[in-house]
Structure 1
Amino acid sequence: MHKLSLSYRWIPSTLANIIDLLKDYKNVITVNESISIWYIVYQLVMLISSILGPGTIFLMVVGAISISFNIDTKLALLVVMLPVLTFCIICLVGNPSTQLVCAQIVGALFAMLMTAVIVGTSLQIQKDGIMSPHSIFLFAVIGSFTTAAILHPLEFTCIIPGILYFLAIPCMYMLLPIYSICNLNTVTWGTREDPAGTYT
């Protein structure tokens, strides 16, 4: 969870920068010939996806658990909601070190769940065949990463730990935004050393 302490400021600062850009997009396009309306549209899509991302991943994990373990969606919702809700509460009332410990525990739980989901998805693909929605989605994701790796041969070896991407999806798309929002009052940047650990 070292990643949380390093990058928790990126989300709010990036969102603030995007919002600032979008508020003045006409002027930005006028004075900067390198920025087109399509770049502004891209930034708008990024803003929307950043806002919807945590909820989307939450629902994706609920659905994946429901399908993989063949359990009712309500039970899967409860299984996912309890650790996330616990993490939210701890982030609101706990100190940063407690928050990071909780993030490690919840992150490990989600990684184990995602491992089970991957196994369940593989079994579902064997059962339904390669033309099932599960198969198409999984192969599309794998294909996009493989294509990117082929197009960037110097970084091709980065695809090797790609399985960790799937395991870390809940951490980076659910836990990190929660941690970021709950720690807006923290004045340290995380990437800069602050031995005093100054917090407001």
Structure 2
Amino acid sequence: MKNILFALIVAFAMGHISAWSMDAEILSAERRAADTCGDPSVATTYYGALSQENAVHRLNTMAAFVAAQELGDQFQIDRPNFIAWTSPGQPSTTPLWRLINPTTMNTVYLTSTNGTTPTLSGFSNPTIISYVYPTQICGSVPLYAAAGPSDHWYTTNLIEHDELLGFSGWTDDGIAAYAWSSHCPNIYRSSESDVTESI
């Protein structure tokens, strides 16, 4: 009887120690996530659009497209493409640069692997349009790029990307960046009480 009582006390104590250890690990993981993931409450939706004048696709915020139309550029807004940040300061993010070919107006989006402004032969006028993740972290998804003869197209939807590659002239141009998908509303939230939030 003494052995059974002793075994129950030891098992009870070990269970509490084990549970305490698991709680500490969860809190530690949440702190790490909060230190490495951007804040979704200050993120914004980026849209794809077609410049009717130049027959090229672009990415930007709705406000930027509206402002461009006031300046004379006519864009046909396609749909929400991804969710990211308009300003620096979010943990683990890097600038997403837009570069334009001045002859064809073909537009590419690049991140820098070494912290400098990226360059691409034939393209100029580098402008930061967003802050994204350079690797797949914090629930982000790839922003796939496809290259056409005089255009580039971007999507977080792999099925759409692969379908476009089936058309003549389009080739895979890799992954431009990582961001939260506008098609998948559950994204990371840095709080101890809830780790997902719908936007």
| Larger helix share, 1 or 2 | 1
Q: Which has the higher contact order (CA 8 A, sep 6+)?
A: 1
User: What TM-score bracket applies, with the shorter chain setting the length?
Assistant: under 0.3
Structure 2 length-normalised TM:
0.24
| Larger strand share, 1 or 2 | 2
Bigger radius of gyration = 2
